[in-house]
Structure formats: C-alpha cells, structure tokens
Amino acid sequence: MLSLTKKPTLKTISRISGLAVPTVSRALNDAPDIGAETKRLIRKIAAEIGYVPNRAGVRLRTGRTNVISLVMSTEHDMMNHTARLIASVAGGLRNTPYHLIVTPYFPDQDPMVPVRYIVETGSADAIIMNQIEPQDPRVAYLMERGFPFATHGRTDWADQHPYFDFDNHAFGSIAAKRLTGRGRGNIYVVAPPQTQAYARHLVAGVREAAKTSGAQVVIAEGVTSDSPSRDVVDHVIARLQADPSIDAILTASTSSAMAAVAAIEARGRTVGDTIDVFSKEAVPFLRLFRKDILTVSEEVGTAGAFLAKAAMQAIRQPDAPPLQGLEVPSDEAS
C-alpha cells in the first residue's frame, strides 16, 4: 500500500504508472480505445492510493455526473426481486466510472416526480426504471427529452428504447400447459397490477394456452400479486369458499404464492393434492416452503447487469441501436 500525505490526483496516478494524465483519465472513464490491461493497472493504482474523482470537477469538464439512478417504488416486497435487482445493477456498474443511486418514490406519489427531478436537475446521467406501463408516461417523457434510460419491462414503444424483460407471455403459457397437463381445469390467476405491461403479457399467455385444453381462467379482481399478503390470503379464502371447483392458483410473486398456500390450507385443502399453486420466483425459496409448489425461475441478476450495460451505452452512444434483452423461461418447471 502506498502512503500519501496529500489527496491523490490524476497526476499522482500518472507519476506512479508512467502514463500521461489524459491516458489515466480515459482509463478511469473506461474509454474504449484504452486496453484492458492498462485499465486494470490504473484502477489498481487508484484503489491502492485511495484516489476518488472530484465529482464537481468531472461535471465541469464533461457535463456528466457519472451517476445512474435506479428509480423504484417503496411498496415493493423485498422477498420479491427488488433487492436482487439493486444488487445486480450495482454489480453491472462495478469497475466502471459510474455509481448507482436508488431514487425511491412513494405509493401516493406521482411516479413522474422523481424522473422529472433527475432530468431537470441533471443529478444523474441515466435512469433505470421498472413497473413499466404499456404507454408509460415516464418513457414518453424521457424519449422526448432525449435523456438516457433503460427499462425493466417493455412498453408499446419497446422497439425504440433499451430494455430487459422476462417473457411473461411464455411464463403464463408454461403455467397453463403444466397445470392442465396435471388435470387442472379451473385456474385462478392472482396477476400483477393490470396497469403494468407484464400483467397483460402474463394474462394473454395463460388464456391462449388454456383455451386449447378448454380450461377456465379467471383473473382475480380486488387484489394483485403486489397486494399485501394478508389481503391476498383473505381474498383467496373467500374465492375458494365461493367456488370450491378452483383447482389451480397462478401467481406472479413469491409473497402472493405463499399467501395463496396459506389460504388453501385455511380452507382445509392441500397443495399438490386437489389444488396446485404455480408461481415465478427470483430466489429458489418456494419449494423449501412447500415442496409441491410449481415454480419457474426468473434470473433477476442477469436483468440488472444487462440494464446497467444498456444504460451506459445509452449515455455513451445515444445514436447506436438500443440494447434489448428478453429472458425466456424454461418450460421445464420445477
């Protein structure tokens, strides 16, 4: 470890490495024309001497903050994929000039507020968002302003912007085929909020696949897979009491799947016997909770790393084709 009495600067790294200051600066900013070995050397020296770039100076020189903001609602259940998404985006930005900040907004707050604030104050170079609507006003605003962004989910304009998405249409289709293959004919779906694009994809996939087997599909009204667990339990108990012929419950989150199991058992029924529960999950947890729950995995770690890369490209190469990725789930459900 090198010992320094003064705050290290680019000149300090230049002196130690023997490389010119502009080369050091470009290496730390991950410039494509600087070799990987040079970047590793410069970053190693910077870490050893405790070099921290002067944010104000960087902004004055480049007009950039080297910050990417992940804008998220505070209402998300951490048992779902929120924590993993944050960690994977942060991991995707590791060893780059960019730093991640999480900008929360509250359930009673207009989701446009944090987006407008970031754009108008220039407090970040790009935004990553989730809970995407088919014609999301945030996306329309950012596209109009030409502000770099990437979405976890697809809009109706997905061909025009960076995104990463889980193929919920395929998930719904896999679920319906697996359930009807087990002889289930009355599928009750605790879907995501219908304002969000992935809910539309999931419901379409379930209905299309179930139609070929003649199974009935009913979408829950009054609760969603994002609702508080107690609300889902109470709703499913009432629904099972009103219609005992329901023999499958499809959900889109770990917490709602657990709530469905609690409701089923409160009605004196057993998962995997006269009724099945099918869900997707970001962490392999549900089958530890009840071994007969049917699941499909969603690789949120892949999503976060891809979104970080897509946001950085949107900053650096605004005229390049947007990076877009789609995770297609395996039809071999657990």
Q: How far apart are CA 245 and CA 274, in angstroms?
A: 9
pLDDT band at 272 (very low <50, low <70, confident <90, very high): very high
Give the model confidence (pLDDT) of 27-36 as tens digits: 877 778 888 8
Task: Show the domains of the chain with their CATH numbers.
Answer: 10-52 (no CATH), 67-166+300-327 (3.40.50.2300), 168-297 (3.40.50.2300)
Instruction: Kindly tell me if the per-residue pLDDT of 77 is higher than 60.
Output: no
pLDDT, average across residues 3-13: 72
pLDDT band at 17 (very low <50, low <70, confident <90, very high): confident
pLDDT band at 4 (very low <50, low <70, confident <90, very high): very low
pLDDT, average across residues 218-238: 96
Say what the pLDDT of residue 61 is.
57
Give the model confidence (pLDDT) of 155-176 as tens digits: 999 999 999 999 999 999 999 9
pTM: 0.80
Phi, psi of 132 (to 5 degrees): -85, 135
Query: Two tokens at 234?
Result: 């109470």
Nearest to 148 by CA among 326, 319, 324, 325: 319
Lowest-confidence segment of 12-26, 136-150, 156-170, 186-200 by average pLDDT: 12-26
Say what the pLDDT of residue 321 is.
96
